[in-house]
Structure 1
Amino acid sequence: MALPGFIRNFIAAGAIAANRLVSVSAANDFEVNQANGATAVFAGVTEQGTDNNNRVDVVMTQIAPVEFGGDLVAGMWVVADADGKAVEFDPANFVGASEVHVAGWVMEDGDAGTIGDIFLNPHLVANIPAA
């Protein structure tokens, strides 16, 4: 069961699926996009989706249910994949990146397709050096 904290309503820049990570839109104030990677600042997670250009509630703090894009283990840090699903943040996949936006950490184990809770803790990892 999700125990969401602060929930804010945003304009959806496009269609957004339920239980997906969303990122802050650079185009307009109070607008979000379905996240498509770890290159933009995360706004939070949707619990309900929306059709193109409608409004969407976004859980911005504490705990939120998100769809896993791969097999995850409790305690793993996550970023968004191309579909806004949570996948493991592995620094080896971002060698040389100047900015990687991490969404939070997984609170439970689950396979790809699982709707599982994550603790939202958005932060920036900068300048990942070569191994």
Structure 2
Amino acid sequence: MRCCRKRNNFTLLEVLIAVAILGMTIMAIIAMVGTAKIRSLTAARDLRENHMLVQAVEYWLLDVESKELPPEFFPYPEYTAERILENVDDLPKGISASRGNWRLVKMTVNLLRNGEICQTISVERLARQLD
């Protein structure tokens, strides 16, 4: 009489299921690594652009008469910065935007990459009135 043997090997179906699970796991890991790389590159570019924007703002806060950034101060070939000065009109009633030779202006600095705005910041500051 034959006795039930205990089997020690895997069936083909069990092996195929294990390989499919392993393959899906590896694909998920590769997708996560790819997404993390893209996010890392985007964050690095944003940080670099923010640094450039802050450099331009700091320069124009110190030198309000200058219209352009000197190339030795802003050495980024595919980036440029532009400054727009506007009068501040939305002050509370009875408050003047100018006093003596000084006036309150809104300075908007745009960082442009290949001619298109990629970052912008606005700062209200005091500026000498030019005659």
TM-score clears 0.5: no
Higher helix share: 2
* TM class, shorter-length: under 0.3
Q: Which has the higher strand share?
A: 1
Higher CA-based Rg: 2
Scaled by the length of structure 1, what TM-score is found?
0.22
